[in-house]
Structure 1
């Protein structure tokens, strides 16, 4: 690829003159025409990121994700990226692999790379997150967690848990196991679980709670142990990704989901309708979450007022993985 130095040499001008032309600075019409002809000859495309580092104005936003293999994060990225392009921005992605300390590092790193704003798909909000927010000079918006001192896009996870449990009660299961995650993740580890537990308990059904991780493989091994001698007829996983591990384990143990055991999840991930049988779940509309987060971040960048917290509604998807136990 041709460089600015080579463009300057072929056009017979200085490197600084080419830089002024590329950055909309003043050059004479005659000089501009010479530079333009060379650029068109070689199909030169300026390095937007390099230009951003030298400029006070950035056309990049940073997006911090918890895992590259997370279906929900990828769907949110789709929504963020689509909205960013409509606004004339590009995204820089930082993956933390579920490490809170890397979330903090990424905030400072993206700031050093002069992004216009940051969207963080957070696993939790710690004092260090709040300290970083105060220390940087660009807006930051959190997805998936809420706090009085931050701007966020989230779901009402307690209400989502209650809504799923209310629908599942009609299937008459009296033995229920909920597979959750660490309570450090307040939205999913505490609120979602509380909505499930309280709704079943109000109906006189006790819920056995088991701790796991978000990773499909971990839940596969967990399910191999839990399903050898199933003590529940209904298993509810905190995410669809976790439920997928249970499908594999059930198949290997000779159990049929939707017949021998019932299984439900949260998320509405695209793959969930292609499992056999399709997974009963709550659709969290993750692309809309991403779009809303990007829209709100750009409003902050432009100095417009937005709500401190935006809540995205969820939808119950009744499928064939839960059978009536009457």
Structure 2
């Protein structure tokens, strides 16, 4: 394998000139650039990434921490991140917490030890311990899905999306609307989507029966069980249910069908997520599209801006769109 010294001799330039050329880290005259480029092309020289990282103190790797690796939301976010980072020669190192809050902390430490150039965290909570850890990392970090003070965040407009979909249910004639949410330690999905629901119900002066509001976790079976609790505990049945994710909504629809109830004739169902399966369940699911691939692209752009010390935004609020289908 050729060394920088040998390339310098063949191109009749200094080793420092070759180093500046390879690292794009300083002035190299056009004449010297052409000679070095000619030697590299003729010899097929490929710089050692390890050696390059030692010189530049950059690994060209970004750590990405995901709450779950197998969901469509995660895959779209990763696709957006990877497509944007690849343009600048970066690779990604994935870590899957499987919704374990302790692993979020562990992976932040582990990725820092692995000397990644930055971390993109798809966060599921804003608990004080995690926020403090992120703020003390001394490493470029971008958060997707949650807002943390002093940390660059790419967030969804959860409050207004939830309010709009609840308003849509009201416009379709529903006054008894149930809600399936998640734990409020997840500020975005748990707190703000619930707040949007309550805001719409209050503005329309509609009563919220306490048994209509149930908390679940992020899977289909949990949505099934939450719908079961709503129907078995309520003396007055709702005519519609808003679930905060597609998976919860699909679980709810499954239980309704088992009970012989028709969607949307007996109970309408709406959600957030716009997953591919939401188009193919029967009936197709009215939902909100959050443009998850765009979230990944924006996070990648911000992490690159932080690394290169160019202008970046502390908070990016993404838009959304309501997709009207047959479940309402």
TM-score, with length taken from structure 2? 0.81
Find the counterpart in structure 2 of residue 235 from structure 1: 241
Deviations 1:66-114 (A, max 9, x none): 0123321221111111111122111100111112221111111111111
Instruction: Please give the residue correspondences for 1:101-250 in structure 2 after superposition, counting only pairs within 5 Å.
Output: 101-207=102-208, 208-227=212-231, 231-250=237-256
Equivalent residue pairs, number: 296
* Displacement of 1:251: 2.7
The reply on whether 1:298 has 2:304 as its aligned counterpart is: yes
CA distance in 2, matches of 1:106, 1:217: 28
Deviations 1:246-274 (A, max 9, x none): 22222333323222211000121222111
* Displacement of 1:38: 11
CA distance in 2, matches of 1:53, 1:246: 51
The reply on whether 1:253 has 2:232 as its aligned counterpart is: no
* Displacement of 1:228: 5.9
Is contact 2:69–2:75 with CA below 8 Å preserved after alignment? yes
Find the counterpart in structure 1 of residue 284 from structure 2: 278
The reply on whether 1:72 has 2:73 as its aligned counterpart is: yes
- Secondary structure of the residue that 1:152 maps to in structure 2? strand
Correspondent of 1:288 among 281, 288, 294: 294
Unaligned runs of 5+ in 1: 1-17
CA distance in 2, matches of 1:255, 1:140: 47
Structure 1 segments, 4+ long, off by >4 Å, are 35-40, 45-48, 50-55, 227-230
Structure 1 residues 251 and 52 mapped into 2: Cα distance closer, same or farther (>3 Å)? farther
CA distance in 2, matches of 1:46, 1:252: 62
CA distance in 2, matches of 1:170, 1:299: 43
* Displacement of 1:229: 8.2
* Displacement of 1:312: 0.3
Is contact 1:79–1:288 with CA below 8 Å preserved after alignment? yes
Is contact 1:65–1:121 with CA below 8 Å preserved after alignment? yes
Is contact 2:180–2:226 with CA below 8 Å preserved after alignment? no
CA RMSD of aligned residues (A): 2.8
Structure 1 residues 257 and 47 mapped into 2: Cα distance closer, same or farther (>3 Å)? farther
TM-score, with length taken from structure 1? 0.82
CA distance in 1, matches of 2:92, 2:321: 29
* Displacement of 1:136: 3.0
Is contact 1:228–1:253 with CA below 8 Å preserved after alignment? no
Deviations 1:233-292 (A, max 9, x none): 101101112112122222333323222211000121222111111111111111111111
Deviations 1:205-254 (A, max 9, x none): 22331111111122223334444687111011011121121222223333
Is contact 1:153–1:292 with CA below 8 Å preserved after alignment? yes
CA distance in 2, matches of 1:165, 1:84: 37
